[in-house]
Structure 1
Amino acid sequence: MNLGFGEAIVILIVGLLIFGPSKLPSLGRAAGKTIHEFRRGMREIMEDTDKGKQ
């Protein structure tokens, strides 16, 4: 699922209205860290299952 430019603008505007401009950068950082940790965990699980098959 890819977001287009218009959808990204709408999400940004809604985020600004709900959280305000001072909270938005910290929420973005937290979301980025969460996604990074999730991907790292998934990668480790995939590596472990590949090792178990050998």
Structure 2
Amino acid sequence: MLGGIGLPELLIILLLAFIVFGAGKLPGVGKALGQSIREFKVAVNKSVEEDAKQD
């Protein structure tokens, strides 16, 4: 699904994020996104471990 995203596409996405959020808010947005991804990974791993225990 994301295999078609290359460097030009990433640059366009970053440029749009810079325009929408501004330079001052980008670090906060990046931090929030990183925390969300981290929490999602923890939840997925916890779910996989619980499924393995049930088997």
Q: TM-score, normalised by structure 2?
A: 0.88
The C-alpha deviation readout for 1:17-50, integer Å capped at 9, x for no partner, is 1110010111011001101100110000000010
Identity of aligned residues (%): 32
Corresponding position of 1:15: 17
- Alpha carbon RMSD of aligned pairs, Å? 0.9
Once superposed, which parts of structure 1, at least 4 consecutive aligned residues long, lie more than 2 Å away? Answer: none
Q: Which runs of 5+ in 1 are unaligned?
A: none
Please point out which of 23, 42, 51 is paired with 2:53. Answer: 51
Q: Can you give the 5+ residue segments of structure 2 that lack an aligned partner in the other structure?
A: none
